Amino acid sequence: MLSKLAKIERVAFVASRTEEAQTARTRLASVYGDPSAEEADAIVALGGDGLMLEALHRFMNTGKPIYGMNRGSVGFLMNEFREEGLLERLRQGDITALRPLKMEATDIHGALHIAHAFNEVSLLRELHQAAKLRISIDGRIRLEELICDGILVATPAGSTAYNLSAHGPILPINAQLLALTSISAFRPRRWRGALLSRTARVTIEVLEIEKRPVAAAADHLEIRSVRRVDIYEDPVCTGLVMFDADHSWEERNLAEQFRY
């Protein structure tokens, strides 16, 4: 958790393409001004969780916190939408620094693709055939062969997203852990995944690649027909996300774990 930004004066607005989000942007800009992102002290993202992820990527390493207000469908990463008192909410908000995963994916042609993920890096089968994967942690093979629909590596921030849907664990936002979660594992049938140190380097090799092609995705960027994927936390990249002080990320994670 970082300190609050008491001197926020200029706010830039970004919005999804929906009519609801665009209308909200127009009304807020008329009240609070409409500086460019470069001139602003903070960024307000109007939309859903997808827009929040896009904003985190766009403003990574700028030092500008992103405060989301829900004008979308899910909104786990967003605060409640209210027009009044925005600057005071921003000045009192809690800021959390997020370090993304770095994905280095080599495709079947030998090309290297590099991307970042604040939520997760996932590998998924492309065809009807199950994927066949070999998993190594820090250079040591830990699972010689996993037959499955896929596998993902999730950050604490992403542990309540796709990872949770795949029955992976919810991680506290400040936990020094990554979740390695299988997706519909067939063999070993009982293997569901593992908890790893945030310093771990995960290497996933695709076996029988011609018969069982696999795609890799880092948040919203997908690479088809990968041969090998290396995943690790990037120590030089940071995104800043802001929540209302009375509804912090820690509180959201706890509430999600007791949802029934």
Catalytically active residues, by annotation: 49
- Do 133 and 145 form a contact (C-beta atoms < 8 A)? yes
Any known ligand binding at 3? no
Q: Tell me which amino acid residue 183 is.
A: I
Report the C-alpha gap between 259 and 117 in whole angstroms.
26
Q: How is residue 99 written in tokens?
A: 């370090």
Any known ligand binding at 163? yes
Any known ligand binding at 149? yes
Any known ligand binding at 161? yes
Any known ligand binding at 48? no
Any known ligand binding at 157? yes
Any known ligand binding at 216? no
Any known ligand binding at 96? no
- Do 120 and 155 form a contact (C-beta atoms < 8 A)? yes
The angle subtended at Cα 150 by Cα 139 and Cα 130, nearest 5°, is: 110
The angle subtended at Cα 120 by Cα 115 and Cα 121, nearest 5°, is: 55
Report the C-alpha gap between 28 and 40 in whole angstroms.
14
Any known ligand binding at 164? yes
Other residues' Cβ atoms within 10 Å of the Cβ of residue 220: 12
Residue 127 gets which letter from DSSP? S
Any known ligand binding at 40? no
| 165: Cβ contacts below 8 Å, ≥ 6 apart | none
Annotated binding residues = 49-50, 119-120, 149, 157, 160-165
Summarize the annotated binding site for NAD(+) as residue ranges: 49-50, 119-120, 149, 157, 160-165
